[in-house]
Amino acid sequence: MAKKLVLAHGFLGFGAINILGWELAAYFRGVATAIDPSKLTVIQHAVPPAGSVKARADDLAGYLLRADVSSPEDELYFIAHSMGGLDVRQALQAYPELASRTRALVTIATPHRGSGVADRVLALTLANQPINPMLKAFLPSMDNGLTDLSTQACQDFNAHCPDVDGIHYYCIAGHANKAPAQLTGPLRLIAQLGAIDAEPCDGLVTMASAIRPGWERLPDWELDHVAQVGWYTDISIDRLQAIFDDSRERAHIDRYMALVALITGESETEFRTG
């Protein structure tokens, strides 16, 4: 039996980019490299970036159920960001053989109740607008993925995708516009576009949508949507001057290592590389 951590990325995301065995970049920045692979296997599978929840869930489940990836004796622990949380919920409900080996799911800023930003983008760009053909040519499944993030689609999804017994579900909500935090850069404009800036949100998902009734709610993260996975939009002179200050990066890794320890029951000292 082996414990395996699965990191599920969000809309337009990716898994990891590796060159000659070295991780060049990852959606969950730096998380996998902070874990000793001999102690805990980390899986960063890339699903169709703009696909529907069903397409992404089927892809994820198909990969995880491969004999060379996991076995019925393994214990799987999921950490999912944004749309990735919906993908995992769908996969666990649709594939009992995957659910049977799953012990826990943590969703971070997953729009369980939908995203006002998706609603607005759909209304503006995908309803017979000139940009629609261009978007479809660039990402053929873009409208499917966005539609599944809409408020109505998530309401329907919740009605038909119940939680699976025997799995511990956790949720984390993020905010970056509730004092003293401040949304910066493009995420502030996106929040305004989606008309979600008047309530606590991370720029893309409101706190209310990220909280799933009946799940264990972990402490909120005072971070915007991209900072939650270790990427940042607040490029400024101050940030450039602080390029050699890795305190923010350390805090990011610390958050995830504490989360991994919580859901797996393992001590950080057992699996953390540094």
What are 234's strand-pairing partners?
A: none
- Asked if 121 and 146 count as a contact pair (C-beta separation under 8 A), the reply is yes
Query: In the chain, what are the domain boundaries?
Result: 3-116+151-271
Could you tell me if residue 144 is left (phi over 0), alpha (psi between -120 and 50 degrees) or otherwise beta? Answer: alpha
Question: Which pLDDT score is estimated for 261?
Answer: 98
Question: Which pLDDT score is estimated for 111?
Answer: 98
pLDDT for residue 137 is more than 50:
yes
Closest by CA position to 135, among listed 121, 149, 119, 148: 121
Residues 6+ apart with CB under 8 A from 104: 77, 78, 167, 168, 169, 170, 263, 264
pLDDT for residue 203 is more than 80:
yes
**Residue-level length of the chain:** 274
What are 100's strand-pairing partners?
A: none
- Asked if 3 and 40 count as a contact pair (C-beta separation under 8 A), the reply is yes
pLDDT for residue 39 is more than 90:
yes
- One-letter amino acid for residue 112 of the chain: H
Question: Which pLDDT score is estimated for 237?
Answer: 44
Residues 6+ apart with CB under 8 A from 171: 106, 107, 110, 112, 210, 211, 212, 215, 216, 217, 218
Find the mean pLDDT for residues 1-25: 90
pLDDT for residue 205 is more than 60:
yes
Cis (ω within 30 of 0) for the bond into 72?
no
Question: Which pLDDT score is estimated for 131?
Answer: 53
pTM, 2 dp:
0.92
Of residues 19 and 5, which shows the higher confidence score? 5
Question: Which pLDDT score is estimated for 144?
Answer: 82
130 band by pLDDT with thresholds 50, 70 and 90: low
Q: What is the percent of the chain with per-residue pLDDT over 90, rounded to a whole number?
A: 74
Give per-residue pLDDT as tens, 247-269: 888 999 999 999 999 999 999 99
Give per-residue pLDDT as tens, 233-247: 766 544 554 455 678
Q: How far apart are CA 186 and CA 12, in angstroms?
A: 16
pLDDT for residue 169 is more than 90:
yes
Which CATH code fits 3-116+151-271?
A: 3.40.50.1820
Give per-residue pLDDT as tens, 83-117: 999 999 999 999 999 999 999 999 999 999 999 99
Find the mean pLDDT for residues 115-120: 94
- Asked if 263 and 4 count as a contact pair (C-beta separation under 8 A), the reply is no
pLDDT for residue 7 is more than 90:
yes
3-class DSSP string for the chain: CCEEEEEECCCCCCCEEEECCEEEEECCCCCHHHECCCCCEEECCCCCCCCCHHHHHHHHHHHHCCCCCCCCCCEEEEEEECHHHHHHHHHHHHCHHHHCCEEEEEEECCCCCCCHHHHHHHHHHCCCCCHHHHHHHHCCCHHHHHHHCCHHHHHHHHHHCCCCCCCEEEEECECCCCCCCCCCHHHHHHHHHCCCCCCCECCCCEHHHHCCCCCEECCCECCCCCHHHCCCCCCCHHHHHCCCCCHHHHHHHHHHHHHHHHHHCCCHHHHECC
